[in-house]
Amino acid sequence: MYTAGDLRRRRAAVRAALPGRQPHAVPGEARAFASANIALVKYWGKRDEALHLPRTGSLSVSLGPWGSEATLALTRKAAEVWLDGEKLAPGSSFAARALAYLELFRPESGENFVLKTRNTLPTAAGFASSASGFAAIAKALDALFGWDLPERNLSVLARLGSGSAARSLRDGFVEWKCGRKADGSDSYAVALPVAWKTLRIGAVVVERARKPLSSGEAMRRCIATSPFMAAWDKTVRGDLRAAKEAVAKRDLRALGEVAEGNALAMHAVMLAARESVFYPTGASLAALAKVRQLRAEGVPVYATMDAGPNVKLLFEAKSESPVRRAFPDAVVLCPFADKGSRR
Ligand code: DP6
């Protein structure tokens, strides 16, 4: 997956994020939880593949009680990865990715990890869990080794697992700063001080099958071949400013317009790649048309989509009835609900 040079740089980034600390043999296990997040201004494209450094900043909203729990322990036996109570074959894609990540944190005394992850996302909601999964693993490493790292360092460590995981350490609105440094030490996420209790996210599942092409691969193809990539970078910078302003004012219309436009621009970048990458299906497009119809009828609801066909809706509590009527199967989430009410 990574070249020897990439691995050296990843190890150096880990060392830099662990000042005065290192992995060491410890008894017992540690457990941590991290929320999933939905990008309102997307991360699409890396300036550094090995360190998952983005070309632009991005902004997301966390899903509070919905995310992943990771439990870590050390063993003298072979490494193990479990997902939702099932032991994964070491070659399976999540296990291979998680083990390659954990390899960066093995103590010098040679122990392996036993990783058990569990998703608290309603499976019916069809959210990707790599962001919350890697953020939970980073937090569990911190707890297992007793590092007590500042959040910024944890965000850097989570990013080395999956870019969007950098944004899964905090609740609420989170901005992942692009950073400039080659070692990525200034590319981490920070929370925006805004609580928006009436905000709702609707998850419209149109397809449960795994995506045929990973987001990492799709990003790579876009950078290599999409004629819209340069325009995308510029679009994101403007969208990020506008989205932060809209969040500060809790202005759903302004935020929704930016988020929907940003998501469609990202898909336009992919559509123009050669060979084209197109995640939406006919059912996704039908959902987008329904969102427009609702807006035409005066219901302020907006849509966003990640690297997959499922559609996420953005609206406020006062529009919940018409949205539920139009999307009876949608799972409605409250990102700012009181903690503990649904975990
Ligand atoms: C469309 O974080 O999954 O969801 O860094 O390769 O692990 P890697 O990619 P990943 O990409 C997420 C892409 C996105 C947009 C976003 O979450 O900002």
pLDDT tens-place string over residues 122-160: 655 667 678 999 999 999 999 999 999 999 999 999 999
Report the separation in Å between the CA atom of 247 and the middle of ligand 1, taken as the mean of its atom positions: 21
How far is the CA of 121 from the CAs of 137, 159, 259, 327, in angstroms? Answer: 16, 21, 22, 19
Query: What is the residue with the minimal CA distance to atom 7 of ligand 1?
Result: 162
Do 4-191 and 199-333 show the same overall fold? Answer: no
Q: Is the dihedral of CA 122, 337, 153, 232 positive or negative?
A: positive
How far is the CA of 322 from the CAs of 27, 190, 288, 291, 295, in angstroms? Answer: 53, 34, 15, 11, 11
Q: Please report the pLDDT score of residue 323 as a whole number.
A: 98
Q: Please report the pLDDT score of residue 207 as a whole number.
A: 82
Whether the predicted pLDDT of 338 surpasses 70:
no
Average pLDDT over residues 167-173: 96
pLDDT tens-place string over residues 2-56: 899 999 999 999 999 999 999 999 999 999 999 999 999 999 999 999 999 999 9
Q: Is the dihedral of CA 149, 38, 250, 322 positive or negative?
A: negative
Q: Tell me what percent of the chain is helix, strand and coil, each rounded to the nearest 5.
A: 40, 20, 40
Using CB distances shorter than 6 Å, the residues near ligand 1 are 39, 42-44, 52, 58, 130-131, 162-164, 215-216, 306-307
Average pLDDT over residues 286-300: 98
Q: Please report the pLDDT score of residue 342 as a whole number.
A: 39
Q: Specify the DSSP element, H or E, that contains 236.
A: helix 229-249
199-333 architecture in CATH? 2-Layer Sandwich (3.30)
Report the separation in Å between the CA atom of 162 and the middle of ligand 1, taken as the mean of its atom positions: 7
Whether the predicted pLDDT of 340 surpasses 50:
no
pLDDT tens-place string over residues 322-331: 999 999 999 9
pLDDT tens-place string over residues 174-198: 999 999 999 999 999 999 999 999 9
Yes or no: domain 4-191 corresponds to CATH 3.40.50.1100: no
**Domain spans of the chain, in order of start:** 4-191, 199-333
Q: Please report the pLDDT score of residue 343 as a whole number.
A: 34
